[in-house]
Structures are given as structure tokens and as C-alpha cells.
Chains A and B, each alone.
Chain A
Amino acid sequence: MIQVEHLTKEYKRVLRREGFLGSVRTLFSAQYETIPAVNDISFRIDEGELVGYIGPNGAGKSTSIKMLCGILVPTSGQIEVNGLIPHKERMKNARQIGAVFGQKTQLWWDVPVIESLRLFRDIYKVPEAQYKHNLNMFNDLLDLHEFQNTPVRQLSLGQRLRADMAAALLHNPRLLFLDEPMIGVDVVAKERLRTFIKEINRDQKVTILLTTHDMTDIEKVCSRIMIIDHGRIVYDGSLEQIRAQYGKQRTLVVEFEEEVQDFSAPNAELKKSEGKKKWFEFNRFETSPSTLIADISSRYPILDLAVEEPEIEEIVRTIYQRKPEVFGTEAK
């Protein structure tokens, strides 16, 4: 469905010289610096996949999505979206994809939602039967009828995103790009959008690429994640895999029968202490939880205990915070 090879995008920025004379000189002979936004990335997304695309701000997520949409020309490398080269066949590509940019709406500001959808129907030449069918579906899944006669500028953010989602899917695209589609939305609306995304992926086999900063989105929706940082893909794989590969730390939470002094257990580090409760962190490849528990229980009577896995957010934070040089060797 999507095939990306050695894709690179560099932006040119004019280097400003200091002072008045400097800015005059810039007018005549500008010097440029090139900023790599996307740096030699390759990946492949098959039909029906639902991929989470994450990375810190400025990592290159939006730049790569814009290139996939054909509204940005790559500096080098190849892109193929369902057999088309997006920036060479922008309009043809536009008919087979749908996109929602959380920060920008595609709808017309002053007119009711339903009017915007009618205009989309005319622009994309959607047959009447398909239009009606999709509208019914949006009513069922997104409760579109609740606000279809409201002008877009009066919608709440959650409603606007639902309307945008409907607009992006009206022409039955095979592929959907969602660039931070849930930014700033409340918990209930978020849950609803997540369910909707999962349903259209499952029932209509729409291939979806989703960028987000919320790891809960990833955990609840995606089967595969790609992490991009400093323009490079630093991780590409399933959620379980990332847990296995990076989630080496486990936390043992022990509640003792009576208050005990702080102590250190072998191969484990005391992280937190709260009355009778203590948190020990250990590396699960070096220490097995059973040895650790046996050791502690031989010394003090234990009331309750639990082993906690790290949150995916924690793992991702660790990945973001590593130095870029490390990625070159570890990324596959």
C-alpha cells in the first residue's frame, strides 16, 4: 500500500546576517542552511494495517505525511502510495486518500457541516447512493446528525474533528492519514474517535497511519508503531516487541506487615518508600522476581506484593531521550 525508500526532505532556510548592512546583503546574496526534516527513512505499510506514527515535536512526522499526501516534494528517495507517486500525481492521489489534520479543518468555516459534505460530494464526484450510505454510517458512528446543521465555526473541537473525519472518509478512500486527530479533545470524545478509527479499519479495511502524542491512543488502537526522531525512524515494530526490547525494568511493590527500615535488596534498587510499602526496581534479565521475593520474604513478613510492567509512555520517553548517534547503530 505504501512503500517508502530512502526518503529525505531538507528545508532551505535563509541565513540572516546581523545588523542593517547584513540584511541588505542578504537581499542580494542570500546564504542558505539546509535543515534535514526527514533523513533517509524507509518503511512499508501493507493494506489494512493500522500504524501509529510517533515522535517528539519537530521529529519529521508531519513532513513525512505531507510527502505521502503529495503536497510536499521529497529532496530524494522514493515514495509510492498504492502505485502512485504522490507529488507527481497529486490530484489522482488525492482521490484515493483521506486526511485529517487536527490543527486545520478542511471544512468551510461559515456553512453548516452538511453543506460542506455536499461540496465534498461534488468535488470528489461521490455517487448519490454511496453518499447516502456513508452519511448513514456517520450518523450511526459519529452522531453526525446532532450537529450537521451547525456552521463549523460554532462546533466544539470534538464535533469539528468528527465532522472532519466524515469529510475525509466520504469518498471511501483506501488510505487514511490522521495527523494528531485528537489533539485537545476531552476523554469521552477521544474514546469515541478511537472506537471509530478501529471500526473503519476493521470493517472497511481502510489502511490508517495515525500520528499522536498520546500513548493511550497507541495502546488502544494501533497494532504497530513507528517511532521517528531527528528525522530517522528509530523503531518499527509491534507493541509487544517494544515492551520486550526496551522494557527491561520491572518494579516490585511490597507491602510489609509492619514498618521496616529502608534496606537494599541484591540486584534491586529501592525507588520509593511509603510507610509499610516499598518499591524496588530491577532488571528482569539479570534478576528473576522469584529470587528477589524469596530474599525479601526471608527477612521480613510480607502482606502483599505485585510486579509492575513499565508504561509504554515510559519506554518511549527513554527512546526519545537517547542521543541521536545511538540510533544509527540500533535502528534496523
Chain B
Amino acid sequence: MKTFWAFARQHFHASTIYHFDFWLRVSSILILMYGTRWLWITLYTQRPGAFGVSLQQMVTYAILSMAIQNLFFTGPPYYMAQQVRSGAIDVDLLKPLDFHFHMLARSTGEMLFRVIVIALPAMLAGYFLFDLQLPATWQTGFLFVVALLLGYLVQFHLEFLLGTVAIITLEIHSIDWAFHATSRFFSGQFVPLWLFPGMLGTLAAVLPFRSIFFTPLSIYIGALSGSAITQALRFQLIWLIILLIISRWLWGRVQLRIISQGG
């Protein structure tokens, strides 16, 4: 845990250097919040009752989704590809750290930093400016945080796998783009998955991406309750274990290749 905080501290220092980046992110989140809220209000005036939940719930879902989007996409793929290409991976392997753990600590540090600096301020702004509702009970709030954390870990492992594949293919941009397009769509970042029709809905239900935005957000707004929550959390956990095993196995092979061929 200390290592995670140590990496988080690094990001505080690194990001105080890039003030501009910070303001750009926060203001773009506010614009997105404003935009999506307006979009849902328009849709609800056109077809009230067509979306399964109340307008207030839907607006909360959308605004919260914008506020937390920066917690994900912490970017191990780019880091890994760059380290291997520049040969700096040697320096990473020189440290007495398991590489997978190193990446997890790095990403989590960055995530913790973004919670404090971006997500919490954005949530406060959402609460005061755009009718972001509080969770119904504190238990719901707690389950939301648990689901969010599991979702983050699923996302991290997907990205770590992507980075590992990028080392093999030596190509990152197009794979990364395709991955993020798929992930954003199937994770329910923009539209709750219950609005997906037929086949798409089924596909979204089995893919791991729904752990990322959809599960925590629908717990938060109360669209999931009781045993549905338990089921959703179990789904996240199972995917996390599967991805963890694949990540460890694949990275083991790639690392062996790096250290036997000299990067």
C-alpha cells in the first residue's frame, strides 16, 4: 500500500508542473456534463418514460460518468511500448519490483491522484451545478465504491494486456484506438446498457467492459438492487480473476523474451 501512495505522490508532483493540463481536463469535463445533461432533458421531453429510469436518475448517471471517466484510461500501454522501444525497460527491470505490480502501483497512484484532483471536484461541481443526486443510502454509496474499484482493476488489466500485446506487435496507436472505442461503447459510459437492443445487449452483458462504468453507475442510481448487485459484483470479480491470470501468464512470456533477446 505504501508503494501505491508513493506513486500517487509522484503524480501530485508531476501534475503541479502541468497546470494547464489540469484546467483543460476539468473544464472539458464540465462542458461534457452540461452537454449530456441537456441531451437527456431533450430526449426525456420528446419521449418521457422510454428509458427505464427517471430523468433525475439518468442525469445523475450521465454526469457521474463524466466525473469519473478520468479514473480509468491510465495508460500502461503507452508507457510499456515506450519503455521497450527506448530500451528504458532495462531500468524498470533493474528495480526490485515485479513488473506487473510496478505497473499496477503506477496506475493506481495516478488513479488516486485523479480521484482527489479531478473526480471529487468534478462531482462537487456536478452536485452544485447540474443536479447530481446523492446515493439513496450510505450502503449504496459504499457498494458503488467497491464496484468502482473492481471496475478500475478490470480496466487496468485490460490495458496491461494491451500493453503486453503492443510489445509483441510493436504497434500501439491503432490497437489502442480500437480498444478504447470498443471499451467506451460496451462499458456503458455514454448510454446505460439496458438501452442496447437484442444482440448488442447480449454481447454487452458477457463482455468484461460493463464492469467499468455500467456496474458502479447503475448501483449508484439504484437501477440495480439486492441480489442483482451481488451478481454484478461477482461478474466483475470473475472477469478480474480471468484477466489477472492471463496477464501474469502473457507477461511472463514477454518478459522472458525481453531478457533473452535484450529488448
A109 and chain B: residue at smallest CB distance: B14
Which 4 residue pairs spanning A and B have beta carbons closest together?
A94-B96, A110-B14, A122-B6, A111-B13
Interface size, chain B (Cβ < 8 Å): 25
In the complex, what distance in Å separates the CA atom of A151 from the CA atom of B12?
A: 13
Contacts of B91 in A (CB 8 A): 101, 104-106
In the complex, what distance in Å separates the CA atom of A12 from the CA atom of B262?
A: 10
Contacts of A90 in B (CB 8 A): 93
Contact residue among B7, B96, B259 (Cβ-Cβ distance under 8 Å from A72): B259
A123 touches B3 (CB 8 A): yes
Contact residue among B6, B7, B90 (Cβ-Cβ distance under 8 Å from A104): B90
Contact residue among A11, A71, A111 (Cβ-Cβ distance under 8 Å from B90): A71
In the complex, what distance in Å separates the CA atom of A192 from the CA atom of B94?
A: 26
Interface size, chain A (Cβ < 8 Å): 31
B94 touches A11 (CB 8 A): no
Count of chain A to chain B residue pairs whose CB atoms are closer than 8 Å in the complex? 69
Contacts of A101 in B (CB 8 A): 90-91
In the complex, what distance in Å separates the CA atom of A122 from the CA atom of B102?
A: 12
B88 at interface by CB-CB < 8 Å: yes
Nearest Cβ on chain B to A66's Cβ, whole angstroms: 7
Contacts of B95 in A (CB 8 A): 94, 106, 123
Interface residues of A in 99-142 (CB under 8 A from B): 99, 101, 104-106, 108, 110-112, 115, 118-119, 122-124
B261 touches A112 (CB 8 A): no
By a beta-carbon cutoff of 8 Å, the part of chain B in contact with chain A is: 2-3, 6-7, 9-10, 13-14, 17, 86-88, 90-91, 93-98, 256, 259-262
7 extra interface residue pairs, beta carbon distance < 8 Å, beyond A108-B14, A119-B6: A71-B94, A73-B260, A94-B96, A95-B96, A108-B10, A111-B14, A124-B96
In the complex, what distance in Å separates the CA atom of A99 from the CA atom of B95?
A: 10
Contacts of B90 in A (CB 8 A): 66, 69, 71, 101, 104
In the complex, what distance in Å separates the CA atom of A210 from the CA atom of B6?
A: 31
14 A–B pairs (Cβ distance < 8 Å), ordered by A: A11-B261, A66-B90, A69-B90, A73-B259, A94-B94, A104-B86, A104-B87, A106-B91, A111-B10, A111-B14, A118-B9, A122-B3, A122-B6, A123-B6
Q: Per-position contact with B for A13-34: 1 when CB-CB < 8 Å, else 0?
A: 0000000000000000000000
Contacts of A307 in B (CB 8 A): none
Nearest Cβ on chain A to B170's Cβ, whole angstroms: 13
A63 at interface by CB-CB < 8 Å: yes
In the complex, what distance in Å separates the CA atom of A151 from the CA atom of B256?
A: 33
Q: Per-position contact with B for A54-86: 1 when CB-CB < 8 Å, else 0?
A: 000000000100100111110000000000000
Contacts of A115 in B (CB 8 A): 9-10, 13
In the complex, what distance in Å separates the CA atom of A106 from the CA atom of B93?
A: 11
Contacts of A70 in B (CB 8 A): 93
